[in-house]
């Protein structure tokens, strides 16, 4: 039995094995919904799954005719996707409490990965779905025309959009347990810009904000319609924390290193060759 929960703890669940097919997904929908550079899923039998608290806090966004994307309406963390027709539940490895006992075996939708964020491990890569799910193509998602010299981003449902002028001060991969649970992913790739570099171009009124109790500055801002993480302004520092999975164009730089590397998920190996720090922050 393995347990998991969202960042705020309002939504929790438990799932019994056997667990199967742990995979990293690079599709644009997963990147936006998680705010991460990829999402890591594993399959579990539906018969062994149950919500243990506040299932009513789960909000579901319909991303396509066949796709649904559940998230906690309070903190924005992505939560398990129940697939009754397949008798399966897709768990998010990033918000599991314990080691599930299996390891990632493949990358799916690798053809859709962000061009500026390479895959650095030796796992097999599939352009779209793996063969066991019949292959197939990614659902097309409209992309706004890009502007030279500006880094653009948007949420999954396209209700919220933003622009960032100039380069970020630094970008880093964070492996702390808070970031993993907030993004429901192996780690968060965050870019730090000054507050005056951010301009909301659409839907700022649709942004919800969650601050983690007891934390000095940690929290998550997200689209209340689809749950996608969006830039979070930290007033006390004058900086904006940008979830890089939501970017529509290249920021022109990549991560400088891995922070809180000693807190990484037990099931994930860091293979990017970048410096690793025990704590925070990484310096460019």
The helix/strand/coil state of 32 is: helix
**66 shares its domain with 155:** no
128 touches 136 (CB < 8 A): yes
* pLDDT at res. 138: 53
The helix/strand/coil state of 133 is: helix
pTM (2 d.p.): 0.93
**123 shares its domain with 217:** no
CATH number at residue 245: 2.170.150.70
Q: How far is Cα 197 from Cα 199, in angstroms, rounded to an integer?
A: 7
**190 shares its domain with 111:** no
Q: Does residue 111 lie within any of the structural domains? A: yes
Confidence bin at 178 (pLDDT 50/70/90): very high
Q: How far is Cα 209 from Cα 155, in angstroms, rounded to an integer?
A: 14
Q: How far is Cα 20 from Cα 54, in angstroms, rounded to an integer?
A: 26
Alpha-carbon dihedral angle through residues 213, 215, 158, 12, given to the nearest 10 degrees: -50
Q: Does residue 124 lie within any of the structural domains? A: yes
* pLDDT at res. 144: 65
**128 shares its domain with 180:** no
Q: Does residue 145 lie within any of the structural domains? A: no
Confidence bin at 137 (pLDDT 50/70/90): low
Could you tell me the two tokens for 19?
């667990």
**14 shares its domain with 57:** yes
* pLDDT at res. 140: 53
**49 shares its domain with 161:** no
**67 shares its domain with 166:** no
Give whole-number Cα distances, 19 to 1, 62, 102, in Å.
10, 26, 7
264 touches 93 (CB < 8 A): no
**161 shares its domain with 259:** yes
Q: For 47-62, what is each residue's pLDDT tens digit?
A: 999 999 988 999 999 9
**128 shares its domain with 203:** no
* pLDDT at res. 38: 98
Q: Does residue 143 lie within any of the structural domains? A: no
Q: Does residue 144 lie within any of the structural domains? A: no
Q: How far is Cα 18 from Cα 5, in angstroms, rounded to an integer?
A: 19
* pLDDT at res. 284: 46
Q: Does residue 275 lie within any of the structural domains? A: no
Q: Does residue 276 lie within any of the structural domains? A: no
**89 shares its domain with 155:** no
Residue 143 has pLDDT above 70, yes or no: no
CB burial class (10 A; 0-12, 13-18, 19+) of residue 56?
exposed
Count how many domains the chain has: 2
The rounded percent of the chain whose pLDDT value lies above 90 is 86
Residue 184 has pLDDT above 80, yes or no: yes
Q: Does residue 142 lie within any of the structural domains? A: no
- Provide the residue range defining the domain that includes 36: 2-133
């Amino acid at each position: 039995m393995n347990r998991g929960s969202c960042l705020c703890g309002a939504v929790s669940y438990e799932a019994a094995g056997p667990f199967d097919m742990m995979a990293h997904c690079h599709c644009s929908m997963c990147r936006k919904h998680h705010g991460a550079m990829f999402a890591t899923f594993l399959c579990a039998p539906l018969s062994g799954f149950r919500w243990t608290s506040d299932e009513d806090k789960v909000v579901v966004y319909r991303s396509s005719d066949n796709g649904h994307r559940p998230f906690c309406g309070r903190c924005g963390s992505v939560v398990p996707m129940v697939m009754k027709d397949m008798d399966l539940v897709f768990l998010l490895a990033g918000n599991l409490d314990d080691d599930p006992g299996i390891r990632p075996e493949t990358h799916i939708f690798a053809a859709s990965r962000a061009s500026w964020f390479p895959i650095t491990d030796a796992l097999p890569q599939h352009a779209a779905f793996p063969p066991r799910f019949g292959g197939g193509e990614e659902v097309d998602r409209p992309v706004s025309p890009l502007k030279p010299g500006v880094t653009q981003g948007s949420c999954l449902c396209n209700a919220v959009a933003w622009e960032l002028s100039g380069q970020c001060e630094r970008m880093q991969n964070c492996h702390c347990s808070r970031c993993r649970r907030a993004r429901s992913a192996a780690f968060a790739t965050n870019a730090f810009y000054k507050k005056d570099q951010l301009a909301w171009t659409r839907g700022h009124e649709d942004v919800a904000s969650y601050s983690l109790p007891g934390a000095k500055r940690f929290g998550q801002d997200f689209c209340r319609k689809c749950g996608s993480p969006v830039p979070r302004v930290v007033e006390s520092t004058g900086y904006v924390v940008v979830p890089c999975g939501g970017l529509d164009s290249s920021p022109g730089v990549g991560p400088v290193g891995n922070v809180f590397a000693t807190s990484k998920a037990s099931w994930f190996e860091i293979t990017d060759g970048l410096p690793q720090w025990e704590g925070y922050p990484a310096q460019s």
